[in-house]
Structure 1
Amino acid sequence: MPGRSSTPPPHLTLNTSSRGTPAAIPNKHLPVCSPGPVVRGLQTPPASPPSKDAVDESPFITGSDFCDDPPLFTITADQMAQALEHMATQPMPSTEQVFPWLHGLHADNQIQLAFFANRRKSVRKAPRIRSITLVKTGGNLCSSKLKGAISPDELLPPSSDETMFIECDPREGFSVRNFQIQACKLAMVSDIIVYGDEKTNPSETIALAKRISKAQRQYEAQNGYPRCMFNTFMLNDSFGHVQTKYPDLVGIDASGAMTGNVVDFFYWERYEMCAMSKASEISSNVFLGPTPDPALDAGCMSDQTFDLLIETNDLAHVPDAVSLRKFRGLLERPNRKGPLHMEFASSGSIMPPTWSHSEVDALMNMCKWIFEIANPQEVRPSKRKTSVEDEAIEMVDIAQPRKVLIHCTDGYTETSLLGLAYFMYAEGLPVHDAWVKLHREKGRNFFAYPTDVALLTQIQPRILQESPRFNGSVFHVSDPKWLSQLDGSLPSRILPYMYLGNLGHANNPELLRELGITRILSVGETLDWPRDVRQQLDWSDENLMMIDRVQDNGVDPLWDEFERCLKFIEDGKKEGGATLVHCRVGVSRSATICIAEVMNELGLSFPRAYCFVRARRLNVIIQPHLRFTYELLKWEEYQRQRRNEPLRRELEWATIAREIALMNKPYSR
């Protein structure tokens, strides 16, 4: 990571339009997570019980007076480091203390108020909590960025004449995923430290600090806080001094390079995605994996040396016979240095029922061509003609097999059509066996489009007939029932013994058995199985668990169910099986349980566990709502307490929410 450019890209901010945002990871999408029906008795949250871990309202920070009107203070790097460390080691406020306030309750948003507050004005007030917020003068967070720092425009209106905080609560609509407002909401109940980089004129920092102090006075008056309960400080040490003495507080150094000292969600999602889809051999000398990325840690990359890299992407075409002959000649050059690169059309590019025979011919020729260069010992010298063009491709003896990597950005989506077709051809497997064996025996996670399922099922007889390793009759191959219910995606393997999926996966018990899944944990959604299925497949009641009355509505808690759910998953692990955790879509309620288990099993902090699960959900982005996310941070506290470890968060709530909002912004419509 040292020396890498900053992530997220410099133009990605919470307050910009979608224009100029970075390219999202291909095929990822944000599914719609309905809050579900409003159940009588659940329209409003229950009254908050007395807080068990209320935050001390005394200031975290001590500093020196700078001026009285408005009140401003200065602070040293030592004092700032001590204050941030103190905050990181304090328990977070209880969930009941900060919700529904964190959801965003604007006075004009009648939908949000009716759902969460139901005219109870008491829950609209800001809770008695305090935090620390760092604001960088100028707002350029691409360099000299301290841990958790935000830009002034995330807190203040654009006009420098206005001395109030922006209204971050949404005026209209309903959402339980307002991650983009959390940094601002927490800043309003924070002691705020303003700092600049080496190029910042001190007068700019003073002017910004005065605006913030005046905004704090106005906010205190509006919300009934004592005057000067929250204060504004200016860092009087240079950024270079902080970088030298407290490197753990620096996320991006003065040159704009990531330091690696602060958890970076963009980096860790990419790292975990590549670690999950790390290149592995699916058939002799043929590998599937992500596009090699030298910016990532070598620990998640393959240690293999490849002769040929085949990248599958949406802009590529299927190579014709002339191109294949050309690449064959290049591969055999004795003075060739490094791997040879070529491209192939991505998954979903051949669309039933309009696909042409020439497209299938090209796919088959590609599979044969790869097999011949990877397994020359099984190919006799011959001269054959392609069915695409009247061109002869001369097959000659090759000195040694060539290692081939079929790759794409995420390592599991665009490669799936070519990877599955080749696996069927090279191993002589029907599509249903290829699906299961590639996942279970070869350990590959992959996502195929429904069109790929239809195509491979239709051309299965031809693949098997031309396969060098299929010995049976194509007329005696029958497809299992579960294949017809498959939409292309398998449940996501989060851990060897735990899968994350949707209600469709849960209602396909034959598929689950094929994958070695022996238990089902249903979070808020009921299975819809035919009466005789449970008996036929020997699904006992003890292998099914239902967590009832948990809607994805930002009100219903999951905390009380964590221990019971994790014990059910653990029992399945002890039996040598695997558990499917599902809700309706597989992104919020069930994802929350899976993150809790990853934190419990691997001992990861919430930010790292979140990226771990997010990467392994394949083409779907997990979306635990605000309350579930907050509960998981409290779960981290509990985990540390149970392991007799001192409480210390890697990142604070406002920073985590801000990072999640930035990660999801490229996918928002």
Structure 2
Amino acid sequence: MATIAVPRPALPPKSASQRGSTPVDSSSPLESLGLPSPPQLPGSHPIPISNSRSPVCLCAADDDSASSYTHSPPPSHVRAHPQASLLYPPDAFARVDGEHASIYEIDAASVAEALDFASRQPLPPPSLVFPWLHGLHPENHTQRTFFDGHQCSLGSMPNCLRAITIVKADGHLDAARLKGAIAPAEFMRLGAAPEFLDADPVCGLSVRNFHIQPAKVAATSDIVVYGLDPDENRRVAWQVAVAQKRWRNKQLAQAKDMPVYSTFVCTSPFSVFEESHGDLVAVDVTGKRTGRVLDLAEQEHQEMRNMTAISEICHNVFLGPSPEPGSAEEQRFDVLIECSDTGRLDPSAIQFIAEHPGQLPRPTSICFPSSGSVLPPSWSQAEADAIIKTCKWIHRISHSTMPEPHTTSSQDSVALQHVKSHNPAAGNAGGRKVLIHCADGYTESTLLAIAYYSFNTGLPVPDAWIKLHTTERRNFFAYPSDVSLLSAIGPRLLCESPMSSGKSLEDIANLARSEPAWFSDLDGSLPSRILDYLYLGNLVHANNPELLAQLNIHQILSIGESASWTKEDLDKWGSDNICFVQGIQDNGIDPLTEEFGRCLEFIGKGVQKGTATLVHCRVGVSRSATICIAEVMRALNLSFPRAYCFVRARRLNVIIQPHLLFAYELLRWEERLRQKRGSLEPYKREMEWGEIAREIALMNRPYSR
């Protein structure tokens, strides 16, 4: 299947060889599969995109997805039980008949009541709605042949679904937006002959068609049209009703028992929602987000902020995300070192700051190259010298080991041109506070953070690498080039470290040469710490048992892919600490729900033994990510969309991509967990399937092209 490299947004693109491309078993960009680009999903506001994602490969499924494993047809005892709705039958609502269709009038209170009721309805079993939700266009022979070859019943549109789709008549979702609202253009064509879109891709194979789900859901929904202009609301409602009727007639050609769905027009002004049903208002009439409706993009960024919060890694040296200019957070520090792709290796700038503690405004900012941008073997001795000198001057600034300030010279003035200053204030006595930062708090700053941590502590680079993650609790992402560069300059970092005073050169050399085996197999990235006892990784991580032991990972859970260990490693770990779930491919067919109990029980045994568990598949973004999301939902009592954002943020530079079937199973898992807890509060989904899929599609769009 086709794959395509996707550069991190908002940063100068670098090739995979430069930045260490990390392949991801996730959905392919539509163009690479021969699919047309989906229509722009409107009204999402400009999405704040993290510039933390490394180049990734987006593909339809793992390259083992066309394996011999097959999916059994639904058992004969499984029956379609249509979801109940307060909008069906619509007899309680005023009906208005037109020439070609009918619409019903509804007020804000009834809309709120109907949505609340719908959110408590159980979802049908996956076997009743898949593979239809994947998208089975009649002309897409690739997609249909794939599922037919795996003994999947292609069937017609399921008759067990009855959702509610909220449509804003004018299509402008950046103001006066209700929870889950979409624009008419996302599911239909307006005009003289209105009709629903057939959103199924006409060619190519993908099991991650999140972008088509709003249209799929609309086709199985009662539709409520609202907006700010009553006349426009009614005009659009008439067109929706006509298109809805035409769509049903088309489906009746394939199935004779298709449900009847209705179109409603909301007669209440939007102000009634704001005044009486604020929990349904995502964006108010002025265009301001209310914060009362979950937004996945914002939730992911909040989780990233929580994960990367600024912390002190060494005396007076801190690491974290870039603070807002002029903020109280920024004012905590005397010196800001921003690591970015445009940064320069110029130790004279930080030397100038070190030598003039009382003559510069506070805070004072300089730049440093981002991780992955200094590339061995092409890097020069001058670049190595500059990194060492930068570490030395950071140490002197943070420990105030400099002599008295001296008079500024013309040469100093030249150095000052490389320094960007902000608000004036006196430096801190006894050492100044230095913040090493980057946009996301964990990617671009990794090279400098590890180099300085090794220099400051006198630890060899491999030990510094591990302790920065374990002892200092920092999550970070490095590139293979960082491993090579730090390994090369490691002996010099130790020789010039203030902690090496009194040690012989021979002792230092022996310490530097004692590079562990796990470090030579490191591709730059550690497994992703999801919870203290739960790591998510790939097959490369799984095949490095020495690295796992360094991270207190002594259990391994393999989902569909087994690690290639020696018999010695297997005997050392013990069979009780290894669990292999076989026969689960990333193909959109093999379900995982039946394995949740077994997998989570295994993870729990690790907790009881005081050890962490690595969950992995091939690339660590779909099958294993699904298991990690399920555990986060269970352990933290989070809804599926919140747990999805929690894991997505902590997977660092790799974008998790559970396919549609896994995502649907997780939404049903949320339902099961709430029921098991026996809560007095009836179960209610925080977000519906169409909402979740739409927002995931929007979040992923910047990483596909």
Q: TM-score, normalised by structure 1?
A: 0.89
Residue matched to 2:564: 528
> Which secondary structure state, in structure 1, belongs to the residue aligned with residue 82 of structure 2?
coil
The question of 1:264 aligning with 2:289 is answered no
The question of 1:551 aligning with 2:585 is answered yes
Counterpart contact for 1:278–1:302, Cα < 8 Å: no
Letter in 1 for 2:659: H
Residue matched to 2:124: 93
Counterpart contact for 1:60–1:87, Cα < 8 Å: no
- Return the offset for 1:68: 3.5
Residue matched to 1:421: 451
Q: Give the direction of change, closer, same or farther, for the CA distance of 1:41–1:285 in structure 2 (3 Å limit).
A: closer
Residue matched to 1:342: 366
Residue matched to 2:394: 370
Q: Give the direction of change, closer, same or farther, for the CA distance of 1:259–1:658 in structure 2 (3 Å limit).
A: same
Amino-acid identity (%): 46
- Return the offset for 1:330: 6.8
Distance 1:72 1:546 in 2: 54
Aligned counterparts, 1:19-58, within 5 A: 24-28=49-53, 29-31=55-57, 32=59, 33-34=61-62, 36-40=64-68, 42=70, 45-51=72-78, 54-56=81-83
> Which secondary structure state, in structure 1, belongs to the residue aligned with residue 196 of structure 2?
coil
Q: Give the direction of change, closer, same or farther, for the CA distance of 1:227–1:583 in structure 2 (3 Å limit).
A: closer
> Which secondary structure state, in structure 2, belongs to the residue aligned with residue 518 of structure 1?
strand
- Return the offset for 1:162: 3.0
The question of 1:663 aligning with 2:699 is answered yes
Distance 1:640 1:65 in 2: 38
> Which secondary structure state, in structure 1, belongs to the residue aligned with residue 500 of structure 2?
coil
The question of 1:146 aligning with 2:178 is answered yes
Q: 1:468 aligns with which of 498, 504, 517?
A: 498
Q: Which stretches in structure 2 are left out of the alignment for 5+ residues?
A: 1-36, 417-426
The question of 1:433 aligning with 2:463 is answered yes
Distance 1:400 1:66 in 2: 79
Residue matched to 1:571: 605
Distance 2:279 2:47 in 1: 27
How big is each residue's C-alpha offset from its partner over 1:150-200, in whole Å with a ceiling of 9 and x where there is no partner?
Answer: 01110113x522321111000000001000000100001100011113xx3
The question of 1:508 aligning with 2:535 is answered no
Task: Judge which range, 30-39 or 95-104, deviates more.
Answer: 30-39
Residue matched to 2:208: 177
- Return the offset for 1:345: 1.2
Q: Give the direction of change, closer, same or farther, for the CA distance of 1:240–1:328 in structure 2 (3 Å limit).
A: farther
Residue matched to 1:166: 197
Distance 2:51 2:665 in 1: 30
Letter in 2 for 1:130: R
> Which secondary structure state, in structure 2, belongs to the residue aligned with residue 621 of structure 1?
coil
Q: Give the direction of change, closer, same or farther, for the CA distance of 1:56–1:643 in structure 2 (3 Å limit).
A: same
Distance 2:179 2:41 in 1: 25
Residue matched to 2:249: 221
> Which secondary structure state, in structure 1, belongs to the residue aligned with residue 683 of structure 2?
coil
Distance 2:174 2:661 in 1: 30
Q: Give the direction of change, closer, same or farther, for the CA distance of 1:348–1:39 in structure 2 (3 Å limit).
A: closer
> Which secondary structure state, in structure 1, belongs to the residue aligned with residue 442 of structure 2?
coil
Q: Give the direction of change, closer, same or farther, for the CA distance of 1:597–1:304 in structure 2 (3 Å limit).
A: farther
How big is each residue's C-alpha offset from its partner over 1:414-438, in whole Å with a ceiling of 9 and x where there is no partner?
Answer: 0000101110111111111001111
Residue matched to 1:9: none
Distance 2:696 2:72 in 1: 25
- Return the offset for 1:111: 1.1
Q: 1:459 aligns with which of 482, 485, 489?
A: 489
- Return the offset for 1:340: 2.6
Q: 2:435 aligns with which of 386, 389, 405?
A: 405
Counterpart contact for 2:83–2:121, Cα < 8 Å: no
Letter in 2 for 1:575: K
Distance 2:329 2:155 in 1: 52
Counterpart contact for 1:14–1:154, Cα < 8 Å: no
Distance 2:329 2:698 in 1: 29
Task: Judge which range, 303-312 or 469-478, deviates more.
Answer: 303-312
> Which secondary structure state, in structure 2, belongs to the residue aligned with residue 464 of structure 1?
helix
Q: Give the direction of change, closer, same or farther, for the CA distance of 1:528–1:364 in structure 2 (3 Å limit).
A: same
- Return the offset for 1:548: 0.3
Counterpart contact for 1:146–1:250, Cα < 8 Å: yes
How big is each residue's C-alpha offset from its partner over 1:583-634, in whole Å with a ceiling of 9 and x where there is no partner?
Answer: 0000000000000000000000111100000000010000000000000000
Distance 1:182 1:148 in 2: 12
Letter in 2 for 1:311: E
Q: Give the direction of change, closer, same or farther, for the CA distance of 1:206–1:659 in structure 2 (3 Å limit).
A: same
Letter in 2 for 1:314: D
Residue matched to 1:5: none
> Which secondary structure state, in structure 2, belongs to the residue aligned with residue 292 of structure 1?
coil
Counterpart contact for 1:221–1:227, Cα < 8 Å: no
Letter in 1 for 2:386: A
Distance 2:618 2:526 in 1: 15
- Return the offset for 1:364: 1.5
The question of 1:204 aligning with 2:232 is answered yes
How big is each residue's C-alpha offset from its partner over 1:551-582, in whole Å with a ceiling of 9 and x where there is no partner?
Answer: 00011010000011001000101111000000
Counterpart contact for 1:49–1:96, Cα < 8 Å: no
Q: Give the direction of change, closer, same or farther, for the CA distance of 1:398–1:249 in structure 2 (3 Å limit).
A: closer
Counterpart contact for 1:591–1:622, Cα < 8 Å: yes
- Return the offset for 1:342: 2.4
Letter in 2 for 1:359: E
- Return the offset for 1:37: 4.5
How big is each residue's C-alpha offset from its partner over 1:346-393, in whole Å with a ceiling of 9 and x where there is no partner?
Answer: 1112110010122122212211111111111x556699xxxx99x999
Aligned counterparts, 1:591-602, within 5 A: 591-602=625-636
Letter in 2 for 1:436: I
Residue matched to 1:131: 163
> Which secondary structure state, in structure 2, belongs to the residue aligned with residue 309 of structure 1?
strand
Counterpart contact for 1:583–1:589, Cα < 8 Å: yes
Aligned counterparts, 1:389-400, within 5 A: 399-400=429-430
Q: Which stretches in structure 1 are left out of the alignment for 5+ residues?
A: 1-12
Distance 1:317 1:613 in 2: 34
Residue matched to 2:33: none
The question of 1:311 aligning with 2:338 is answered yes
- Return the offset for 1:205: 1.9
Residue matched to 2:375: 351
Counterpart contact for 2:84–2:121, Cα < 8 Å: no
> Any runs of at least 4 consecutive aligned residues in structure 1 with deviations exceeding 4 A, and if so which?
20-23, 118-122, 225-228, 301-304, 328-331, 378-383
Counterpart contact for 1:516–1:578, Cα < 8 Å: yes
Counterpart contact for 2:639–2:686, Cα < 8 Å: yes
Q: Give the direction of change, closer, same or farther, for the CA distance of 1:567–1:270 in structure 2 (3 Å limit).
A: same
Q: Give the direction of change, closer, same or farther, for the CA distance of 1:110–1:119 in structure 2 (3 Å limit).
A: farther
Residue matched to 2:39: 15
Counterpart contact for 2:48–2:297, Cα < 8 Å: no
Distance 2:356 2:196 in 1: 63
Aligned counterparts, 1:284-299, within 5 A: 284-293=315-324
- Return the offset for 1:527: 1.3
The question of 1:113 aligning with 2:144 is answered yes
Letter in 1 for 2:51: P
Counterpart contact for 1:55–1:91, Cα < 8 Å: no
Q: Give the direction of change, closer, same or farther, for the CA distance of 1:268–1:49 in structure 2 (3 Å limit).
A: farther
Task: Judge which range, 208-217 or 185-194, deviates more.
Answer: 208-217
Q: Give the direction of change, closer, same or farther, for the CA distance of 1:120–1:444 in structure 2 (3 Å limit).
A: closer
The question of 1:604 aligning with 2:634 is answered no
Residue matched to 1:10: none
Distance 2:178 2:363 in 1: 41
Aligned counterparts, 1:60-75, within 5 A: 60=87, 62=90, 63-69=93-99, 70-75=101-106
> Which secondary structure state, in structure 2, belongs to the residue aligned with residue 569 of structure 1?
helix
Letter in 2 for 1:662: L
Distance 1:183 1:405 in 2: 44
Q: TM-score, normalised by structure 2?
A: 0.85
- Return the offset for 1:286: 0.6
How big is each residue's C-alpha offset from its partner over 1:478-535, in whole Å with a ceiling of 9 and x where there is no partner?
Answer: 1011111000000000000000000000000010011110100000001101232333
The count of corresponding residues between Structure 1 and Structure 2 is 634
Letter in 2 for 1:357: Q
Distance 2:285 2:266 in 1: 16
